[in-house]
Amino acid sequence: MQIRTRLTIQFIITVATILLLTLAGVYARYKQSLEDEFYRGLRFKATMTAEMVLRQEANLETANPVTPGAPSLIPATEAIAIYNTQQKRVFALNLQGGSLNAQTLSGILAQGECRITYGEMPALGVRHISSSGTEYVVVAASVFQSEELKKLFQILLFSFLIGISLVALAGWFFAGRALAPVSQIVNQVETILPSNMSARLKETPNRDEIGRLVLTFNRLLDRIYFAFQMQKRFISNVSHELKNPISVIIAQLEVGLNKQKTNEEYREILQSVLEDSKNMADITEKLLQMARVYSEDSNISFTTLRLDELLLQVRAALMRAKPTYHILFDLTGDIDSEVQLDIKGNEALLRLALTNLIDNGCKFSPDHTVKTTISAYPNGTLELCIQDNGPGIPKEDLPLIFQPFYRGVQQTKVSGSGIGLSLVESILRLHQAKIEVASEMGKGTQIRLLFGLEIQK
């Protein structure tokens, strides 16, 4: 069943239920009003009859003897009778009404007034005290007939049917209008093909649920498009980056096998092959690390870490592996407790990111020196600044440095795979940390990492 049909049916059922209850309430209230008016008439009739008949209470039975089979004085649709407390009928108009049993008589005497059935007619039993103080029960009965109630029922039934018909038409129309934007979205989505992933849904000026749905679809398409582009670029760059060193290694080995060479020449060939193999191993390792970050980002565990301790561990490992590196460390800001230096993250991944950033800074600095500074701010944000004194990055290269395998003009002079910064950016995005890069030609590059509650929330 289509949503439009289902919405229309639900709308009809809801409105029909409300309308039916409302009309039923109107009918019941009007019927109750007519019944109250009917019984008020019976009360008036019973009271007037009792006052007229009981004026000659002493000669009641001789003045109006009650004999079975006596002719009826009023139409058979009405009856009036008077009973004493001994359940004896002392007066009656129209004997077709029936008789009053002891239980009903006792109830009327106890309550003073009671709605009963007298014969087959609705009746009102009223306790009446005569001028002599004697208690009597006066029963006035009549057939309840109301043409107005029948007409009202017909009018309400006709109104209900007409109203439901109009509701069905209106529900079908407005359900169609409400779902029209959804149909348009479906039609637009069906036109988006893998060959045209840059296409986007047409956004609406309204910021309602449909507008938010369009924005959500477009954001999803942005992420899918980014993933497609990354995959395409990744495959292209991987094939290129691995093909070059393999081709070089093959060429060098072919040269080495071509003719007899001296031991020194063989050593040079093997040394070159070793360097190319290490480069391939470095590329492969970073590719595996990047793939692990993308594939296991939902299963990576986070713990509370001290940013200063993590930075000092990275600093010690780098200076131990490469003695020519000089990594300066400093703390700034109002730090009252160690808790201010805590962050939530994965220790192995953050250590890998910091190692890549600091190692890059040292490689590009002529004196292999990098200054690292941790600053704590009152709003709970921690800033890690990594400053080198290298040649700097051109402005046109800054937006591209986080792309996999991208290497600028300055980077071609230093060995590397071009994967490190892309891996760093992926790790920081996973930690919901912000990275900012500022560079000035000839004066070095500054990288700022921002961790904190406002960023990680």
pTM to 2 decimal places: 0.47
- DSSP string for 42-89: HHHHHHHHHHHHGGG-TTHHHHS---TTPPPSS-TTEEEEEEETTS-E
Judged against a pLDDT cut of 80, whether residue 382 lies above it is answered with yes
Judged against a pLDDT cut of 60, whether residue 103 lies above it is answered with yes
CB atoms within 10 A of CB 345: 26
Question: What is the arrangement of strands in the sheet containing 326-332, beginning at the earlier edge strand?
Answer: 326-332, 369-376, 382-388, 444-451, 434-440
Residue 372 pLDDT? 92
pLDDT tens by residue, 198-231: 777 777 777 777 777 778 888 888 877 777 776 6
> What are the backbone angles phi and psi of residue 100, rounded to the nearest 5°?
-110, 125
pLDDT tens by residue, 154-195: 999 999 999 899 988 988 888 887 777 777 777 777 777 776
Judged against a pLDDT cut of 70, whether residue 431 lies above it is answered with yes
Grouping H, G, I as helix, E, B as strand and the rest as coil, residue 101 is: coil
pLDDT more than 90, % of the chain: 13
Burial of 211 (0-12, 13-18, 19+ CB in 10 A): middle
For the chain, helix (H) and strand (E) counts, in that order, are: 10, 12
Judged against a pLDDT cut of 60, whether residue 417 lies above it is answered with no
**Amino acid residing at 244:** N
pLDDT tier for residue 4 given thresholds of 50, 70 and 90: confident
Note whether 362 and 318 are within 8 A (CB): yes
CA dist list (Å): 108 to 46, 134, 428: 13, 15, 90
Residue 75 pLDDT? 52
Note whether 419 and 290 are within 8 A (CB): yes
pLDDT tens by residue, 280-292: 777 676 666 666 6
Question: What is the arrangement of strands in the sheet containing 121-129, beginning at the earlier edge strand?
Answer: 89-93, 78-84, 135-142, 121-129, 113-118
Residue 60 pLDDT? 62
Grouping H, G, I as helix, E, B as strand and the rest as coil, residue 375 is: strand
Judged against a pLDDT cut of 50, whether residue 130 lies above it is answered with yes
pLDDT tens by residue, 330-354: 888 777 777 888 888 888 888 888 8
Residue 390 pLDDT? 86
d(Cα 17, Cα 78) in Å, to the nearest integer? Answer: 40
Q: How far is CA 191 from the centre of its chain?
A: 28
Residue 67 pLDDT? 47
Judged against a pLDDT cut of 50, whether residue 46 lies above it is answered with yes
**Amino acid residing at 131:** S
Contacts of 21 (CB under 8 A, 6+ apart): none
Query: Hunting for tokens 């002891």 — which residue is that?
Result: 102
Residue 253 pLDDT? 83
Going along the chain from its start, the domains and CATH numbers come out as 3-66+73-149 (3.30.450), 209-295 (1.10.287.130), 303-456 (3.30.565.10)
- Span 437-455, mean pLDDT? 80
- Span 418-430, mean pLDDT? 76
Judged against a pLDDT cut of 80, whether residue 43 lies above it is answered with yes
* For the ranges 46-50, 247-251, 288-292, the one whose mean pLDDT is highest: 46-50
Contacts of 368 (CB under 8 A, 6+ apart): 322, 324, 325, 326, 362
